[in-house]
């Protein structure tokens, strides 16, 4: 996989394809280590997301790039230049804050012009660029308003314009859509994506919303407990999670703890703690994983349900239907296996299973539809 290749390659000092580089970053607050050795490179023009649950250190990582915090150890580079000792106001980055942090004493127009005025741009230049930024976020008619007179979505647009107008190397977005309601969030997602495509600027977004990260990003870094769990494309993160945490955090999954019993080059046999035998086709990333503790992950939508014993005996287990939840496009089943494991199964609302609650049935999945992750 490409991201493992990138991680293993020694970092070249003069690699100009990186806009942002973090090298073994640590951050300690009052004796508590919030970021533990984060090492990553963000390509030029990329939409990069840092995804994780609250308290995982993702916002701190963003603040380290912005320069609001200095790393306790390690180094931040922007366009190959070390940012050590460079204060926030001298860094070529601009932030869209979670709370927007608009200046309530200034009009929309003056909010956007703030950065240009600080840099003493000419009057004509300020006029042109503010106008252009307003047009970009479709806020021309609100230029004279004050932030308190705008809705949340409109404030969001002003915050984006205020960052973009300075033409930064990197735009940092801290949970940019967190305060908006669902419908508006979807709209703004599309607009952010369009803005990114049209401008070609590097976007680094912090979010706890996996759907947002999956739908917007070119690449995602999943963080947990101050560490990077995995970096990859949305597809890689979802379909080939490398750790049980990523498998569990991104989407729904069923996890089985177990021991690798036999390995050959083509197949892993895992015996779970509750006695199930699961066959797993190794992927590149789990290739060569030594026998030992593993966690098998099966996505609910990859599991098939049937009333009769299916012809293929692979990964087929008998169980009992506990609960059915009708979701409209999909139906969600909760199944308890004879071993006592409980599984969630998601089926498209096409072939409805004619099963009564408590009736017995069979579940099965292909050996290519599950992953063995080193615990």
Partner 1 sequence: MSTSTPTPSVVPAKTSPGWQRKLSHLVGPLVLLGPPGVWLLLLLVVPTLLILQLSLIPGIRPGQPIDGFGLGNYLNIFQPVYLQVIWRSVFFALGSTVLTLLLGFPVAYWIALMAPKRWRNLLLVSFVLPLWTSSLLRAYAWITILRPTGVLNSFLSTLGLPTLDLLNRSGAVFIGMSYSFLPYMVLVLYASLEKLDRRLLEAAADLGASAPQAFWKVTVPQTLPGIAAGCLLVFIASLGDFVVPELLGGASSMTVSRLIYNQFLGATRNWGLGSSLSMVLILAVSISIALLIKYGDRDPESFS
Q: How many CB atoms lie within 10 A of CB 123?
A: 9
The answer to the question of residue 155 lying near partner 1 (CB under 8 A) is: no
Is residue 255 a contact point for partner 1 (CB under 8 A)? no
Judged by CB, which is closer to partner 1: 95, or 272?
95
User: With contact defined as beta carbons under 8 Å apart, do 23 and 74 qualify?
Assistant: yes
How many CB atoms lie under 10 A from the CB of residue 198?
9
Q: Could you tell me the smallest distance in angstroms from the CB atom of residue 197 to partner 1?
A: 24
Least Å distance between CB 118 and partner 1? 4
Q: Is 179 in the site for partner 1 (CB under 8 A)?
A: no
Residue 95 near partner 1 by CB under 8 A: yes
The alpha-helical segments, DSSP class H, found in the chain are 2-8, 58-66, 108-118, 123-136, 152-164, 182-199, 210-216, 234-239, 244-249
| Closer residue to partner 1 in complex, CB, 88/316 | 88
Distance CA 96, CA 173 (A): 5
| 104 lies in the site for partner 1, by CB under 8 A | yes
The tokens describing 154, both together, are 């409109």
Phi first, then psi: give them for residue 166, nearest 5 degrees.
-85, 0
Query: Judged by CB, which is closer to partner 1: 119, or 138?
Result: 119
Q: Does 162 engage in binding with partner 1 (CB under 8 A)?
A: yes
Q: Is 105 among the residues that bind partner 1 (CB under 8 A)?
A: yes
Selection from 30, 45, 35 nearest residue 76 by Cα? 35
Q: Which stretch binds partner 1 (CB under 8 A): 44-52, 145-153, 244-252, 349-357?
A: 145-153
**Stretch of residues binding partner 1 (CB under 8 A), selected from 54-62, 161-169, 189-197, 252-260:** 161-169
Q: Among 25, 93, 280, 335, which residue interacts with partner 1 (rule: CB under 8 A)?
A: 93
Measured from the CB atom, is 76 or 246 closer to partner 1? 76
Helix (H, G, I), strand (E, B) or coil at 115: helix
- Of 26, 43, 114, 362, which lies in the binding site for partner 1, with binding defined by CB under 8 A? 114
Distances (CA, A) of 212 to 37, 48, 63, 175, 364: 26, 12, 20, 10, 31
Among 2, 84, 99, 293, binds partner 1 (CB under 8 A): 99
Supply 300's token pair: 């609910």
Give SS3 for 53. coil
CB 176 within 8 A of CB 149: no
Site membership for partner 1, residue 291 (CB under 8 A): no
Options 119, 138, 197, 342; binder of partner 1; rule CB under 8 A: 119
Q: How far is the CB of 299 from partner 1 (least distance, A)?
A: 39
Give me the least distance between CB of 53 and partner 1, in Å please.
22
Question: Near partner 1 by CB under 8 A, which window of 102-110, 179-187, 191-199, 357-365?
Answer: 102-110
Report the alpha-carbon distance of residue 80 to residue 23 in Å, rounded: 12
Examine residue 146 and tell whether it contacts partner 1 (CB under 8 A): yes
Residue entry with tokens 């607050």: 29
Closer to partner 1 at the Cβ: 89 or 326?
89
Burial class of residue 32 in the structure, from the number of CB atoms within 10 Å of its CB (0-12 exposed, 13-18 middle, 19+ buried): exposed
> What's the full length of the chain, in residues?
375
Q: Which residues contact 71 (CB under 8 A, 6 or more apart)?
A: 25, 26, 27, 35, 64
- Say how many residues touch partner 1, by CB under 8 A: 28
* Region 24-83 residues binding partner 1, contact defined as CB under 8 A: 66-68
**Residue 97 engages partner 1 in binding (rule: CB under 8 A):** yes
Near partner 1 by CB under 8 A: residue from 75, 84, 87, 307: 87
Q: What is the DSSP letter of 354?
A: -
**Three-class DSSP category at 69:** coil
Write out the residues near partner 1 by the rule CB under 8 A: 66-68, 87-90, 93-95, 97, 99, 101-106, 114-115, 118-119, 146, 148-149, 162-163, 166
């Amino acid at each position: 996989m490409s991201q493992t290749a990138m991680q293993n390659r020694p970092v070249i000092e003069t690699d100009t394809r990186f806009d942002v580089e973090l090298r073994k970053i640590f951050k300690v607050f009052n004796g508590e280590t919030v970021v533990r050795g984060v090492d990553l490179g963000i390509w030029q023009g990329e939409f990069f997301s840092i995804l994780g649950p609250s308290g995982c250190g993702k916002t701190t990582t963003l603040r380290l790039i912005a320069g609001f915090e200095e790393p306790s150890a390690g180094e931040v580079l922007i366009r190959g230049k070390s940012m050590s000792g460079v204060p926030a106001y001298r860094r070529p980055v601009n932030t869209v804050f979670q709370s927007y942090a608009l200046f309530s004493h200034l009009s929309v127009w003056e909010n956007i012009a703030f950065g240009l005025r600080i840099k003493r741009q000419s009057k004509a230049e300020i006029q042109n660029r503010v106008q252009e930024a307003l047009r970009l976020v479709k806020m021309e008619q609100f230029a004279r308003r004050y932030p308190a007179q705008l809705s949340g979505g409109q404030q969001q647009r002003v915050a984006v314009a205020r960052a973009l107008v300075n033409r930064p190397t990197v735009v940092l977005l801290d949970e940019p859509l967190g305060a908006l309601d669902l419908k508006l969030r979807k709209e703004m997602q599309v607009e952010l994506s369009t803005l990114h495509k049209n401008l070609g600027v590097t976007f680094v977004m912090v979010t706890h919303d996996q759907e947002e990260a999956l739908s917007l990003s070119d690449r995602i870094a999943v963080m947990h407990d101050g560490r990077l769990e995995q970096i990859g494309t949305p597809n890689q993160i979802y379909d080939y999670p490398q750790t049980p945490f990523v498998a569990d955090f991104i989407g729904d999954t069923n996890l089985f703890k177990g021991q690798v019993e036999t390995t050959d080059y083509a197949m892993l046999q895992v015996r779970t703690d509750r006695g199930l035998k699961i066959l797993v086709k190794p992927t590149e990333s789990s290739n060569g994983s030594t026998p030992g503790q593993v966690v098998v992950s099966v996505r609910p939508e990859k599991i098939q349900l049937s009333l009769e014993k299916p012809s293929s005996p692979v990964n087929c287990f008998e169980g009992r239907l506990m609960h059915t939840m009708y979701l409209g496009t999909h139906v969600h089943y909760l199944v308890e296996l004879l071993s006592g494991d409980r599984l969630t199964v998601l089926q498209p609302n096409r072939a409805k299973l004619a099963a009564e609650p408590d009736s017995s049935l069979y579940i099965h999945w292909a050996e290519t539809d599950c992953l063995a992750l080193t615990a």
